[in-house]
């Protein structure tokens, strides 16, 4: 029997990507596609690439109807909205996969500090499972509320987890330098993502204040078994999709690139969507449109640093593809179902 799926926030980039991937998922029936600002519009008009694959108009979100008709509801909404809607769905026995940041952080006070809002449903934060399969696979399988990772944290945690578990690096002085395409800012209009502002331009933004910082630190701290602090600096680059993370960690002992590559191969040997790059370096073009994360590591002996590099598509492994991977786990399907396709190149 097909899994009945609804998407709340189907008119945004994340929702549209969910619809694209779920439309060809062999075990899924799309039930409701909701949108508040683009209500009563044809999905094939909102997303011309979906013509012939996803038919019908977007509707207004009704929690009772969504829960009654759906086995799982994906929430692709701005921060602060899902924390109010998800509890209504859970009380009606629908499973929820939230692509917003509303349930990612375990400490309620962090929402006051980083999101400038009090959490509306803090009682659900402990229950929510952080949805990065590479680190939380077992818990995801039995979850009813999954907090899908942010795009930067997904790449950063995959890049850094093997290093922190290896004992070969320090747990201090970690720098995460990241670049993202413009689609990471969403579909809404803003001066900062206007074509004329972004084209032929690269700029850092939200230096020391980016909201993904506590998420990266939370997940790396769990991996390391102690509190981790990182310096995280994101950059906006003039392309549509993709994230490239370059992370720098001081070495704790003498080691080589070959030694650390062996660590990564062992750590990710059974991961269906992590590819260890041995020839060349990860690049965003190689992951475009796919759920893969390409990762590698190098040792700078002169500087005493391990340098890990990871590339993902921010809308797939950084959002919708990872969410579907989580759904597959929650419903006992092979993780690759509906997702095991190569990226687009060139």
**What residues does each domain of the chain span?**
3-127, 152-314
Query: Please, what is the average pLDDT of the chain?
Result: 97
pLDDT at 34 over 90: yes
Catalytic residue chosen out of the listed positions 96, 110, 128, 151: 151
Q: Provide mean pLDDT across the span 225-254.
A: 98
pLDDT at 1 over 90: no
Active site annotation includes 151: yes
Tell me the C-alpha distance between 129 and 82, whole Å.
15
Determine the pLDDT at residue 278: 97
Determine the pLDDT at residue 138: 98
pTM: 0.98
Determine the pLDDT at residue 199: 96
In percent, the amount of the chain with pLDDT more than 90 equals 97
- Give the CB-side neighbour count of residue 231, counting CA atoms within 13 A: 7
Q: Provide mean pLDDT across the span 216-221.
A: 98
Q: Provide mean pLDDT across the span 287-300.
A: 98
Task: Looking at the structure, give the CATH architecture of the domain made up of residues 152-314.
Answer: 2-Layer Sandwich (3.30)
Query: For residue 189, what pLDDT band results from cuts at 50, 70 and 90?
Result: confident
Task: Looking at the structure, give the CATH architecture of the domain made up of residues 3-127.
Answer: 3-Layer(aba) Sandwich (3.40)
pLDDT at 36 over 90: no
Determine the pLDDT at residue 37: 85
Identical fold, 3-127 and 152-314: no
Residue 179: strand pairing partners: 235, 244
Q: Provide mean pLDDT across the span 2-7.
A: 98
Three-class secondary structure assignment of 73-124: EEECCCCCCHHHHHHHHHHCCCEEEECCCCCCCCCCHHHHHHCCCCCCCHHH
Determine the pLDDT at residue 225: 97
Determine the pLDDT at residue 113: 98
């Amino acid at each position: 029997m097909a899994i009945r799926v609804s998407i709340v926030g189907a008119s945004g980039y994340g929702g549209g990507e969910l619809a694209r991937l779920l439309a060809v998922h062999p075990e899924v029936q799309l039930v409701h596609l909701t949108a508040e600002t683009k209500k009563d519009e044809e999905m094939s008009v909102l997303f011309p690439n979906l013509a012939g694959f996803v038919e019908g108009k977007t509707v207004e979100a009704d929690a009772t109807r969504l829960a009654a008709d759906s086995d799982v509801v994906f929430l692709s909404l701005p921060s602060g909205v899902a924390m109010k809607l998800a509890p209504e769905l859970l009380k009606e026995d629908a499973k929820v996969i939230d692509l917003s940041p509303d349930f990612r952080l375990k400490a309620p006070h962090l929402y006051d500090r980083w999101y400038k809002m009090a959490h509306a449903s803090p009682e659900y934060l402990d229950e929510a499972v952080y949805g990065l399969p590479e680190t939380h696979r077992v818990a995801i399988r039995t979850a009813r509320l999954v907090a899908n990772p942010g795009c930067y944290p997904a790449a950063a945690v995959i890049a850094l987890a093997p290093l922190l578990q290896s004992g070969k690096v320090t747990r201090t002085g970690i720098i995460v330098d990241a670049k993202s395409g413009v689609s990471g800012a969403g579909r809404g209009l803003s001066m900062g993502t206007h074509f004329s502002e972004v084209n032929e331009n690269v700029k850092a933004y939200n230096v020391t204040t980016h909201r993904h910082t506590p998420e990266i630190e939370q997940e790396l701290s769990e991996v390391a078994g102690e509190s981790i602090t990182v310096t995280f600096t994101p950059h906006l680059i003039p392309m549509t999709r993709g994230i490239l993370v370059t992370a720098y960690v001081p070495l704790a002992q003498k080691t080589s690139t070959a030694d650390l590559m062996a660590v990564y191969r062992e750590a990710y040997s059974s991961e269906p969507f992590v590819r260890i790059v041995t020839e060349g370096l990860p690049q965003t073009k190689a992951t475009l449109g796919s759920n893969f994360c390409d990762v590698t590591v190098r040792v700078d002996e002169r500087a005493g640093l391990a340098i890990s590099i990871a590339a993902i598509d921010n809308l797939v492994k950084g959002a919708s593809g990872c969410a579907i991977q989580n759904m597959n786990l929650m419903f006992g399907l092979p993780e690759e179902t509906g997702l095991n396709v190569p990226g687009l190149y060139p």
